[in-house]
């Protein structure tokens, strides 16, 4: 069925298909009319989100992966992983290391911690398997470097999208993700539970109304037994098995339901020590033992009841539960009654399969399926009541063990799902993570319920790789507040301000910077940047270099500036300073031998795009002026001395040599003809004669002549108090 549903979705809409500019597209690459390998694509406008990336527990190797080839992976902007169960996260190392995925990836803190432990065990196990491994330990380590963490209720912006995680219940750290793109809000629940249990709070109701909810449909229209009734049924079943001398095997997921059930059994054994103290409870999973540290670290993510208990003792340091380190020896050596929890929950491999095959022919024993049994696993098969099973070695053996299905699964049932959707009231619901038949029963029930309540609701049940298109007009409206809103802008006119999103509804406002404190919690601030550069040339040389390079160099003179503090910690004196382009102040601080201060310039500017750009250019000019040829410095000194002495002839000669040195620095070889009052240039074989006093340039190349004239203008403005009056040809 899934194969016939495949079609490419990355080539743009075909004739008659909805356009992505007005439609949101949801494509299940996994968990489409199946339970396993959750991986859902959400596309709207030019943004693409991947929700989860897991493997299918009933398949092996590449067959267990989501259908990642159905989209252009390199167009995915962000991947959001809801929780650490393998069917939601175990394909992440493959995604990050063996595909073209270039986006960012997020999960909560507990999910990242447990993800690493679970997948490291999986990678180590793959070394000893004949199956082709999807990833190795190096791939896992590399994935940890790329995974970013996010807190519940923390709104982050990624590629122009707003993303907020909410609590999902289910397991420690599990999150629902609300994504908003251009006003379209999509909520992905992942696996969730609206019922609190012994250690986890219930899933949240997001405070804003989503347009689309992608929700799990694992249990379809089924209803869970009330918690107390389920617990009593479990305990009675275990007691009956023990009383007849049998053993109980409970296949579980290592983290999540295992801790919930161990809390229940430990509490029950403590209350009935006189009767049950001789009956051992074992956990046959290293990950269950490692969970102790994880739950201690993230106790704040647990519910209020368990947090209160933590003040007295760690409830996960179980009083009646032992860790079984060698299941093979235990199977061969132990024959008395006991209770064993082992992984995986589907009985497809591992310790749970070993115990089940060893005990399945004894009618005194019991197997309790406590979690959802995925199609294609042994757990699903034995719930059908077969008279025999096939072992992993291929032998057919009789099935005499009692099999009970007492669900402690933290997945939403029909009542939770219908109640949740009634609370958030989305007009569009997409069902995923459910078997084909159950999903369609749930869809019909949800449609009927919405119709009876007079609520507009579309419900979709896509199969693998089938696109659901939901029409939504993008919201690009912005509210003008404060000063900007006092006078409506003229149509077509530009409006400038600060764009602010705030609040759960992501309301967008455009504000004048001065209005930020009035309408938001933001304050307008500035960062003053300073940079000091040691110099060994007079400030006149630096000023000259700046005036040659920049227009609008003003304020030459003295400005107050903190120089070297005196012995009493005073501010020091004043320094020469100029302002470049009204953005960057350049202050000169002379050497002070007494305090050990060397001569230097201090650049000061307000941080920002323009200021930073001008400051970078000023730094380059200052550094260049330090390295000016000695003849330029000596010519400038001679010119200034001659002017001070009133010797105009000597000043003019020195000025000509200074111009020659500066032009040589810009254009290359230059010779000074003092008798003719000319500077002769050779620029890549093109000759030019500069009559500085007349302000005239003779050159056969118009472009080069224009460049030299522009430089001459700036040099004259920097050296002479009056501009040149250059004749035009």
The catalytic residue positions are 411
3-class DSSP assignment, residue 436: helix
Q: What letter would DSSP give residue 62?
A: G
Kindly report the length of the chain: 729
The alpha carbons of the chain give a radius of gyration, in whole angstroms, of: 38
CA distance 105 to 91: 13
Q: Are the C-beta atoms of residues 392 and 353 closer than 8 Å to each other?
A: yes
Q: Are the C-beta atoms of residues 583 and 605 closer than 8 Å to each other?
A: yes
Q: How far apart are the first and last CA of the chain?
A: 84
CA distance 281 to 342: 11
3-class DSSP assignment, residue 660: helix
**Residue keyed to tokens 């004894």:** 362
CA distance 642 to 20: 76
- Exposed, middle or buried by CB within 10 Å (0-12, 13-18, 19+), for 161? buried
Residue 46 token pair: 């030019």
Q: Are the C-beta atoms of residues 171 and 182 closer than 8 Å to each other?
A: no
CA distance 600 to 563: 10
**Residue keyed to tokens 């993008």:** 474
CA distance 40 to 603: 53
H helix and E strand count, the chain: 22, 34
CA distance 80 to 703: 57
CA distance 247 to 365: 5
3-class DSSP assignment, residue 378: helix
CA distance 123 to 324: 22
Nearest one of 668, 670, 720, 675 to 695, comparing CA atoms: 720
Q: Are the C-beta atoms of residues 214 and 187 closer than 8 Å to each other?
A: yes
């Amino acid at each position: 069925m899934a194969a016939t549903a495949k079609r490419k979705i990355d080539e743009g809409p075909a004739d008659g298909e909805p356009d992505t500019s007005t439609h949101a597209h949801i494509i299940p690459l996994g968990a489409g009319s199946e339970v396993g390998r959750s991986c859902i694509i959400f596309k709207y406008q030019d943004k693409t989100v991947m929700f989860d990336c897991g493997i299918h527990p009933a398949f092996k190797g590449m067959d267990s992966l989501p259908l990642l080839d159905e989209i252009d992976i390199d167009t995915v902007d962000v991947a959001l992983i809801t929780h650490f169960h393998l069917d939601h996260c175990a394909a992440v190392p493959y995604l990050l290391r063996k595909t073209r995925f270039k986006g960012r990836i997020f999960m909560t803190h507990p999910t990242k911690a447990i993800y690493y432990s679970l997948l490291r065990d999986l990678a180590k196990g793959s070394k000893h398997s004949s199956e082709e491994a999807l990833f190795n330990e190096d791939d896992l380590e590399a994935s940890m470097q790329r995974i970013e963490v996010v807190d519940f209720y923390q709104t982050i912006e990624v590629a122009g999208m707003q993303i907020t995680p909410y609590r999902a219940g289910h397991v420690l750290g599990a999150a629902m993700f609300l994504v908003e793109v251009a006003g379209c809000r999509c909520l992905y629940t992942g696996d969730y539970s609206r019922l609190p249990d012994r250690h986890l709070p219930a899933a949240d109701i997001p405070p804003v109304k989503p347009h689309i909810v992608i929700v799990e449909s694992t249990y379809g229209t089924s209803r869970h037994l009330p918690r107390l009734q389920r617990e009593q049924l479990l305990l009675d079943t275990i007691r009956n098995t023990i009383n007849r001398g049998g053993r109980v095997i409970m296949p579980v997921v290592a983290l999540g339901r295992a801790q919930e059930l161990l809390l229940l059994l430990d509490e029950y054994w403590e209350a009935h020590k006189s009767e049950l103290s001789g009956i051992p409870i074992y956990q046959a999973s290293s990950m269950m033992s490692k969970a102790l540290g994880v739950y201690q670290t993230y106790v704040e993510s647990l519910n209020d009841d368990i947090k209160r208990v933590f003040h007295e003792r760690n409830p996960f340091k179980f009083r009646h539960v032992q860790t079984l380190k060698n299941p093979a020896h235990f199977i061969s050596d132990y024959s008395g009654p006991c209770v064993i929890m082992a992984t995986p929950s589907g009985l497809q491999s591992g310790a749970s399969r070993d115990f089940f095959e060893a005990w399945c022919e004894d009618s005194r024993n019991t197997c309790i399926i406590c979690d959802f049994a995925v199609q294609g696993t042994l757990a699903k098969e034995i719930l059908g009541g077969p008279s025999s099973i096939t072992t992993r070695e291929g032998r057919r053996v009789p099935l005499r063990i009692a099999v009970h299905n007492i669900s402690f699964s933290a997945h939403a049932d029909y009542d939770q799902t219908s109640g949740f959707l009634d609370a958030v009231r989305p007009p569009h619901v997409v069902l995923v993570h459910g078997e084909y038949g159950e999903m369609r029963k749930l869809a019909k029930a949800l449609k009927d319920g919405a119709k009876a309540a007079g609520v507009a609701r579309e419900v979709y049940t896509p199969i693998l790789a089938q696109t659901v298109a939901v029409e939504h007009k993008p919201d690009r409206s912005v509210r003008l507040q404060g000063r900007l809103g006092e006078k409506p802008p003229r149509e077509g006119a530009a409006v400038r301000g600060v764009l602010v999103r705030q609040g759960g509804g992501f309301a967008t406002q455009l504000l004048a910077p001065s209005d930020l404190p009035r309408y938001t919690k933001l304050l307008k601030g500035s960062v003053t940047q300073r940079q000091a550069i040691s110099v060994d040339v007079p400030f006149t040389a630096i000023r000259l270099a700046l005036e040659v390079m920049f227009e609008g160099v003003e304020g030459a003179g003295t400005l107050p500036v903190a120089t070297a503090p005196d012995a009493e910690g005073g501010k020091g004196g004043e320094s020469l300073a100029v302002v470049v382009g009204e953005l960057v102040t350049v202050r000169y601080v002379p050497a002070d031998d007494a305090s050990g201060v060397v001569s230097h310039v201090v650049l000061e500017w307000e941080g920002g795009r323009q200021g930073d750009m001008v400051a970078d250019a000023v730094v380059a000019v200052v550094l260049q002026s330090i390295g000016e040829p000695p003849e330029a410095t000596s010519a400038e000194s001679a010119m200034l001395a001659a002017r001070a002495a009133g010797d105009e002839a000597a000043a003019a000669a020195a000025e000509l040599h200074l111009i020659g040195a500066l032009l040589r620095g810009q254009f290359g070889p230059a010779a000074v003809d003092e008798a003719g009052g000319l500077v002769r240039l050779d620029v890549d074989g093109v000759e030019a004669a500069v009559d500085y006093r007349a302000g005239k340039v003779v050159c056969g190349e118009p472009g080069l002549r224009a460049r030299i004239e522009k430089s001459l203008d700036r040099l004259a403005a920097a050296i002479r108090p009056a501009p040149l009056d250059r004749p035009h040809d």
